[in-house]
Amino acid sequence: MSPLPEAELVRNSVQLYRYLLRCCRRLPPGPIQQHYRHAIRQSFKVHADEDDPVRIQQIIKRAIEDADWVMNK
């Protein structure tokens, strides 16, 4: 099960970014939520220059799987 039902609709990096931030809103407020919001921002900065479509899809798939793991933890 995905953290949010919109996971199947994520096709590009902007959609992924918005999706992950929406997932963060479901976490308990405070340091945990701040940590994951910061990690999301940093990850997008690190991968901002990625231009290989296959690699981008791999990153999207892995980010959704990681978000699923965090939300079920």
Distance from C-alpha of 32 to C-alpha of 71, rounded to nearest angstrom:
12
- Specify the pTM: 0.82
3-state helix, strand, coil split of the chain in percent (to 5) is 75, 0, 25
Instruction: Write out pLDDT tens, residues 10-54.
Output: 888 899 999 999 999 999 889 999 999 999 999 999 998 999 999
- Say if 66 falls within a structural domain: yes
Top pLDDT among 73 and 31 is at 31
- Say if 50 falls within a structural domain: yes
- Say if 41 falls within a structural domain: yes
- Say if 22 falls within a structural domain: yes
How many domains are contained in the chain?
1
Residue 59's domain comprises: 7-72
Q: Is the pLDDT of residue 1 over 70?
A: no
